[in-house]
Amino acid sequence: MNDEQLLRYSRHLLLEEIDVAGQEKLLGSHVLIIGAGGLGSAAAPYLAAAGIGKITLVDHDQVELTNLQRQIMHTQISIGKTKVESGKQFLQSLNPALTINAIAEKASEDLLNRLLPTAHLVLDCTDNFAARQLINQACFIHKIPLVSGSALKFDGQLSVFDSRNKTSPCYACLFSPDEQFEEVSCASMGIFSPLVGIIGAMQAAQALQVLIGFGQPLVGRMLLWNAINTQIDEIRVARNAACKVCGPQN
């Protein structure tokens, strides 16, 4: 690290769990963030501020006025722009030394297969079941750790699926791809503004832990946050031997 970096990240360097070696891991990391809405708007700035060397944002949507209640990477003047371009400008203003890639596309199998070989970790900040299943399967195939978050109304969920760990479940262990879920969205159900900030910031924290390798990330555990009762619960999640994604046949 150069002198400017030593000063910028000095508060990290004071933490023995991170120190110079950990910070250098972050500077050499590539994180793929799929979804530049509420969750992505909270997670991406903390990852940029923390010094992730390369961040790739993937999102096909444009900024709308209704997004501004919670998607803090975007501002009034961002309306009409793609979320990834708006997000890129915001992140570069936070930390100009980083590489920020903006891909204004919907996540697809082909796109993920092109991006994942160079990524060290993926954040799933999407808002629909089909996308989560697609991302989970791609991460399992490419053996890339996945930090998955979701938020709706007053409830949020967070977990880490690390296919490098033979005991780690995957997203499909909890929610089978064969199950039929009624898709619900913020547009129809509403969402408490700070909730996406809480879950998104936790996703960033989990990502830093996994990349550096300290503490106990939420592998095999799912954290549940209820904003009405200000209550945090945790459930244990075991690998499903019959899982169609990570089962023995795969």
Within-domain flag for 245 = no
Residue 222 belongs to a domain with what CATH number? 3.40.50.720
> What's the number of domains the chain is made of?
1
Has residue 84 been placed in a domain?
yes
Q: Is residue 188 part of a domain?
A: yes
Range of the domain at 131: 3-236
Residue with the larger pLDDT of the pair 187 and 96: 96
Tell me the CA distances in angstroms from 210 to 1, 103, 117, 216, 218, one per residue in order: 21, 24, 17, 9, 10
- The string of pLDDT tens digits covering residues 104-148 is 999 999 999 999 999 999 999 999 999 999 999 999 999 999 999
DSSP label of 135: H
Reported as a single tens digit per residue, the pLDDT across 16-73 is: 999 999 999 999 999 999 999 999 999 999 999 999 999 999 999 999 999 999 999 9
In a domain, 242, yes or no: no
DSSP 1: -
Instruction: Return d(Cα 117, Cα 115) in angstroms, integer.
Output: 6
Asked if residue 250 belongs to a domain, the reply is: no
